[in-house]
Amino acid sequence: MSAFGTPRNSKERARERRDNYDGVVCVINDRWRVIVCKHGIQGTLQKTKSGDGHGRAWRCVSYPTTKRALIEACAQYYGHCETAAPAVLEALPDRISQYRYVGRHNAPHHQNGQG
């Protein structure tokens, strides 16, 4: 790990790119999703090539640290969304660092015990 908390090697970096990464906040559609980084300090908007989801890698597109910036990035990159993703994003705390997850596809858990 570097002094800035970023992964030093590609194996460590690849975990967030895996299809089965535990920090998934919501899946927008088959090509877009939002995760919380493994350090819990920022949200990450990710895109993948369309496919069946088996072993595909996700590419990071945006790294916002606030809910508002994350919602704006999502709107900028993927536009209108017909899934429940916007409601999930709105339920996040104002700062992504206040979000805690306990596993895949869970509702937001706020650090202060709300939510």
Query: What integer pLDDT is reported at residue 30 of this predicted model?
Result: 83
Distance CA 94, CA 91 (A): 9
Q: 115 or 51: which carries more pLDDT confidence?
A: 51
Tell me the per-residue pLDDT of 18-72, one tens digit each, with 9 for 90 and over: 888 888 999 888 889 999 998 889 999 999 986 655 667 899 999 999 999 999 9
Q: 9 or 70: which carries more pLDDT confidence?
A: 70
Query: What integer pLDDT is reported at residue 14 of this predicted model?
Result: 57
Query: What integer pLDDT is reported at residue 115 of this predicted model?
Result: 42
pTM listed for this prediction: 0.71
